[in-house]
Amino acid sequence: MIGISNSTRDNSTQLLTKYPKPIQKVLVIGLGAAGILALRNLKKINKNNQISIKCFELTSRLGGIWNLDTLEKGNDYSDISGSNFVTPMYPSLTTNMPGKLMTINDLPELESDEVYPEHRFILRYLNKIVKGDNLDQFVSYNTKVNEVEYLIDEKCWLVKSLNLKTNETMEEKFDCVVDCSSFNNLDHIPNWEGLQKFKEKYPDRLIHSRYYRGAEEFEGKTIIVVGKGPSAMNIVQELSYTNCDLIQSSNPIPIYKRGDIFLPYAPNNPSNLPTFVAPIKSFEIDSNTSETVNDCIVLEDGTKLSIPDILISATGYEFKFITLPETSQNPLQPSTGSIIADKHTLKNLVLRTIYQHNPSYMTIGAITISSLIPLWDYQAHYVASTISMVNYFHSTCDSAPLLELVDEDWILNAKGSKDELITSRAIIFERFSFPTELSVRINRSHAALPLRYKAEFPLAMVDPPSNEWIQQAVTYSLGLPPYNRD
C-alpha cells in the first residue's frame, strides 16, 4: 500500500462512487472492427490473466459491416433492428478514405496497393488481427444479446443472451460492458409527407442504400437517388455507367477546389450525368385508385416528378443501442432515452466513450460518420487502460493514474450533471484531433503509475496520430468526394 494524502483520500472517496468495485469480468458486445480492437487491447492489459474477457457476436463471423451479404429475392432483410440483419456492402464498393488512413499504428500494412481499397481488404485486415492475436478464444458466435441490466445491489451487469444455434437462453453477470454493437446502423429514411401512402401503393419501389448490391438490376429503369453523402455518390457513380434514367435529389451539389483543380460532385462519366434536382418535400398519391397518372413526387422548389421505377434513399443511419431498454428511471441503467438525444446525436458519454452516470458501461465507435478504424483503436486503448487503472486504484487506493485518464471535473462531480452532446456529423478537425487527447491521457496516466506496478497493471500504450495523418484525414473528410478520386 502506498502512502496517501488527505486530498487523495477525498478523490478516492469520490472515485468509489463511480467505480465501486474492481473490474474482473468484461463483456464486449459485437465482433466488428470496434469489438476486435477492444478485445485486442483488453488482452494487452491482461497479461496476468486477472480479468475474464468474453465477446458475444450475433453472427457466425467476424468483421461486422465489412462482410458482404448477398440478397435473395423473396426474403425479407433488415437493418440492425431486425432478426435478418444484412450489411451495406456490395461487390464493387471501396473505402471512402485512402487505405493508409484505415489501419492502426502498429499494423500499418493493408495488403492493397489501391489508394481506395475494396472492402474485402478491410475484412482481410480484420481477420489478420483476430488470428494474429488469437482473439477467437474470447468469442461466442451466434449469440444475441437481448438485454443488459444493471443490478444495483450487486454492482454488476446482468446480461441476457440467446444462442441462435441451440435457441438456449443464458444469463451471466459482468463487472463491465463494452458495447461495440453497431449502434449507428439503423436505416434512416426521411419522414416525407405522404411516404406511407407511397409505400402502400408502390411496395417495391423504395429501398435504403443498405440493400443496393449492383447496377445491373436497374438497367433501363428510372432511378431517383436521394442524398449526396458517400453512399449516394458511390451508387450514382455506378449507375451512371448503365442505361438508366438517373436523377439525384439533394441540397445543392457543391464544387470542391483542390489546389488549382475544381472537383465537381458529379460522376466521372460525362455521357450519363444524373439530373440534379431539389430535395424531396412530399408524395402526392391517390390511394383510391390503382391508376398512377396523377401520382407524383413534390420537390422543395415546387417541381413535380413522376413516380420512378426505384427510389433509393441513401440517407444514412441513426443511432440505436439495441441491447438497452428504451427508458429507465434509474440513472445507473443506461437506456436509449439517456444516451440518444435525437436520431443523430448522443449525450451523457464522457470522452465519447464512458456512460456518465455509470462508467462501467462503455462504448466504442460513437465518434464519426466514417468507419475509420484508427479512431476506434484509440478508444479501445483508452477503454482497456481505464479498466486497468480502476483495478490498480482498488488495489492501492492511489487515484492519481485513474484521474489522469478520466475527466477529473466529471469524476469529482463538479460538472456531473452536464450532458456531452455528440453529433454523428461532428466538426471535422475536432473529430480527428480526438485520438490525440486520448493518447495524451493514457501517457499521463502511465507517467503517474509507480514503476513497481507497471507490470502488474499495464496500460494499453499508444502514440498520438501524426500531424500528417490528421491533416490527411481532415482533407479527405472534407472530400475528395467519392467521385473524381484519381
Q: Tens of pLDDT along 65-113?
A: 999 998 877 667 666 666 678 899 999 998 888 898 899 989 998 999 8
pLDDT score, position 118: 93
Mean per-residue pLDDT over the chain, rounded: 87
| Rounded Cα gap, residues 117 and 77, in angstroms | 27
Domains held by the chain: number: 2
Question: Are 274 and 360 within one domain?
Answer: no
DSSP letter for each residue of 102-135: SSBTTB---S--SSS-BHHHHHHHHHHHHHHTTG
- Residue 123, classed as helix, strand or coil, is helix
Across the range 155-159, mean pLDDT stands at 98
Q: Is residue 391 within 8 Å of residue 22, measured between CB atoms?
A: yes
Q: Which of 390, 415, 414 is nearest to 402 (CA)?
A: 390
* CB burial of residue 163 (10 Å; 0-12, 13-18, 19+): middle
Q: Tens of pLDDT along 386-409?
A: 999 999 999 999 999 999 998 766
Question: Are 177 and 36 within one domain?
Answer: yes
Within a domain: 154:
yes
Question: Are 281 and 341 within one domain?
Answer: no
Q: Which of 119, 182, 187, 186 is nearest to 364 (CA)?
A: 182
Question: Are 396 and 284 within one domain?
Answer: no
Last residue of one domain, picked from the residues 314, 330, 350: 314
- Enter the DSSP assignment of 78: B
Question: Are 239 and 260 within one domain?
Answer: yes
Within a domain: 86:
yes
- Enter the DSSP assignment of 272: G
Question: Are 122 and 174 within one domain?
Answer: yes
pLDDT band at 412 (very low <50, low <70, confident <90, very high): low
How far CA 143 is from CA of 54, 134, 171, 326, 360, in Å, comes to: 12, 19, 12, 21, 22
Last residue of one domain, picked from the residues 284, 314, 344: 314
Question: Are 380 and 259 within one domain?
Answer: no
Question: Are 117 and 196 within one domain?
Answer: no
Question: Are 198 and 160 within one domain?
Answer: no
Alpha carbon 22 to its chain's center: 28
Question: Are 32 and 176 within one domain?
Answer: yes
Within a domain: 1:
no
How far CA 119 is from CA of 92, 317, 354, 359, in Å, comes to: 8, 19, 30, 34
Question: Are 307 and 332 within one domain?
Answer: no
Q: Tens of pLDDT along 296-339?
A: 999 999 999 999 999 999 998 888 888 899 999 999 999 989 99
| Rounded Cα gap, residues 28 and 25, in angstroms | 10
Within a domain: 40:
yes
Could you count the other beta carbons within 10 Å of the beta carbon of residue 332? 14
pLDDT score, position 414: 45
Q: What are phi and psi of 68, to 5 degrees?
A: -100, 120
* CB burial of residue 201 (10 Å; 0-12, 13-18, 19+): middle
Within a domain: 272:
yes
Within a domain: 482:
no
Q: Tens of pLDDT along 447-458?
A: 999 999 999 999
Q: Where are the beta strands (DSSP E) in 1-119?
A: 25-29, 52-56
- Residue 472, classed as helix, strand or coil, is helix
Q: Can you give the CATH number for the domain in which 62 is found?
A: 3.50.50.60
Across the range 278-296, mean pLDDT stands at 94
Q: Is residue 323 within 8 Å of residue 145, measured between CB atoms?
A: yes
pLDDT band at 341 (very low <50, low <70, confident <90, very high): confident
DSSP letter for each residue of 356-418: TT-TTEEESSTT-SS--HHHHHHHHHHHHHHHHHHHHHHHH---HHHHHHS-HHHHTTSSTT-
- Residue 181, classed as helix, strand or coil, is coil
- Residue 279, classed as helix, strand or coil, is coil
> What contacts 165, CB < 8 A, 6 or more positions away?
142
Model-level pTM? 0.90
Q: Is the confidence at residue 144, as pLDDT, over 60?
A: yes
State how beta strands 261-264 and 255-258 pair. antiparallel
| Rounded Cα gap, residues 355 and 357, in angstroms | 6
| Rounded Cα gap, residues 485 and 315, in angstroms | 22
Last residue of one domain, picked from the residues 314, 341, 356: 314
Q: Which three cell numbers stand for residue 320?
A: 440505436
pLDDT score, position 415: 47
pLDDT score, position 73: 73
Give the residue numbers spanning the domain of 293: 189-314
Question: Are 204 and 248 within one domain?
Answer: yes
Within a domain: 486:
no
Residue 333, amino acid: Q
Within a domain: 391:
yes
Q: Is residue 414 within 8 Å of residue 327, measured between CB atoms?
A: no
What's the residue count for the chain?
486
Q: Is residue 321 within 8 Å of residue 426, measured between CB atoms?
A: no
